[in-house]
Amino acid sequence: MNGSTVLVTGGAGFVGSAVARRLSAPDVGARVIALDNLHRRGSELNVPLLADAGVEFVRGDVRNRDELAVGGRPIDLIVECAAEPSVLAGYDGGSRYVLDANLGGLMNCLELARERRARMIFLSTSRVYPVEQVNALAVHETATRFVLEDKQGVPGASAHGIAEDFPLSGVRTLYGATKLAGELLLAEYAAYGVEYVINRC
């Protein structure tokens, strides 16, 4: 990564700011640009931490292609952390922001990756798994938490957690649905030569 230019979207968020600071650390040595619209309350508190780590902060929105373009600078890697991550987002009757930020923003990132020949890391979520399927898993309670039983009635679930072959059919949340749709879009953009990794954090 030494010398590479990395654009971290959602770069002032909880995860994005940690990723941006780590990538700019001397042992990694990337030139990092953190783009964030500061929509989520508290994200502005991470801006000074980014500056202290040598990360360039750009106030911009993934929904706006011109702001996302960061002045036409070359980009080697896009780490897509921008999202409206609330599982309740959109259920108050206003789903436009979660859809525009999570899907529209990702589309803009994908187009930028295609145009700049950049690779992508997409931060997805465990919320892609259907709520009813997850709630039906066998667990036992310990003093501090619930633990998954080793034997489950569905593939992809064990005491080790949930794996990629866990069933995806069912209702999740708007947040989870937009992230799952984003994973599918990434796979389609491979046809344009966009190399990517999906992390269901």
pLDDT tens-digit profile of 12-49? 999 999 999 999 999 999 999 999 999 999 999 999 99
CA distance 199 to 168: 16
Q: What is the number of other CB atoms lying within 10 angstroms of the CB of residue 6?
A: 25
Find residue 161's DSSP bridge partners: 158
Q: What is the pLDDT of residues 109-147, one digit of tens each?
A: 999 999 999 999 999 999 999 999 999 999 999 999 999
Q: What is the pLDDT of residues 58-89, one digit of tens each?
A: 999 999 999 999 999 999 999 999 998 887 77
Q: Are the beta carbons of 186 and 120 closer than 8 angstroms?
A: yes
Among the four given CATH numbers 3.20.20.70, 3.40.50.720, 3.30.70.3420, 3.30.1330.60, the one describing domain 5-127+172-199: 3.40.50.720
Token pair for residue 14?
Answer: 């909880």
Neighbouring C-alpha atoms within 13 Å toward the C-beta of 114: 14
- What is the residue extent of each domain of the chain? 5-127+172-199, 130-167
